[in-house]
Amino acid sequence: MGKIIAIANQKGGVGKTTTSVNLAASLGVLEKKVLLIDADPQANATSGLGIDVETVEIGTYQLLEHTNTAREAILQTDTPNLDIIASHIDLVAIEIELVDKDDREYMMRRALLDIKNDYDFIIIDCAPSLGLLTLNALTAADAVIIPIQCEYFALEGLGKLLNTVKSVQKIHNPELDIEGLLLTMYDSRLRLSNQVVEEVQKHFNDMVFKTIIQRNVRLSEAPSFGESIINFDASSKGAINYLSLAKEVITKNS
């Protein structure tokens, strides 16, 4: 039975796509069968795995419109055991197009029913907003990982996101779980980074992953080469961090 995990935070620049791509790649390297769904119109997860966004003919947009099946949308990547359903700028229009449809929050859930059991993990990279796209992802997901950057405004907006999760649990998806809060962009030299870690751990305790994603130049270079950190530089700190996170996720779900 596959587990669907949404990676969500309405704030931009917190490491959502970096986490989606590299957690998915790490799970693949650890011999889990993984599908990554790019549900962000910016399509950074798609280009970050070396797929030319302009060539995407069937992707998340067609999936939500139900003009194509999930199986028709799946593309293989160069990373072992990792497939992707790609995004395209067209996805921007989906919120408007779905607005007057019945059950508009359940489009993704329905589309994935068919393939859920083909994978160990399905990772959804959400858009940086709490709109209909993210709502679809949370309604389809079994759990959500929330990346939080170790910076000054880290906890700002977290309350809002947790409230959204609560209302999704109440109205659309009672099964939705919080898989964990993930601290990203950590710089051990900065006092502020350490304060944020302490603060988050103090408030949220067991909800926080033990793995902390450190700031790492190789991690930010990898997407421009269209590669996950695992393919780009497997010995880098970034790769080691994401492999550690993947192991934590596997342990949690075994």
E strand or H helix that includes residue 182: strand 177-186
Q: Could you read off the pLDDT of 5-37 as tens digits, one per residue?
A: 999 998 888 999 999 999 999 999 999 999 999
**DSSP assignments along 144-177, one per residue:** EEEEEESSTTTTTTHHHHHHHHHHHHHHT-TT-E
> Taking a C-beta distance cutoff of 8 angstroms, is the pair 103, 132 a contact?
no
Centre a 10 Å sphere on the Cβ of residue 55 and count the other Cβ atoms it contains: 9
CB 9 within 8 Å of CB 146: yes
Average pLDDT over residues 51-73: 92
pLDDT tens-digit map of 61-70 = 999 988 999 9
Indicate the pTM of the whole model: 0.95
State the pLDDT at residue 98: 83
Across 43-47, 99-103, 221-225, least confident range: 99-103
Phi and psi, residue 4, nearest 5°: -100, 120
Report the pLDDT averaged over residues 107-122: 95
Asked if residue 218 has pLDDT above 90, the reply is: yes
- Strand 208-214's sheet: what is its strand order? 74-76, 82-85, 34-39, 121-126, 3-7, 143-149, 177-186, 208-214
In the prediction, which pLDDT does 39 show? 95
Q: Assess whether pLDDT exceeds 90 at residue 91.
A: no
What integer pLDDT is reported at residue 107 of this predicted model?
A: 93
**Average pLDDT score over residue span 103-122:** 94
Share the mean pLDDT of the chain: 93
- Whether 145 contacts 180, CB under 8 Å: yes
Bridge partners, residue 219, by sequence: none
Which domains are delineated in the chain? Answer: 3-252 (3.40.50.300)
Residue 170 clears pLDDT 80, i.e. is over it: yes
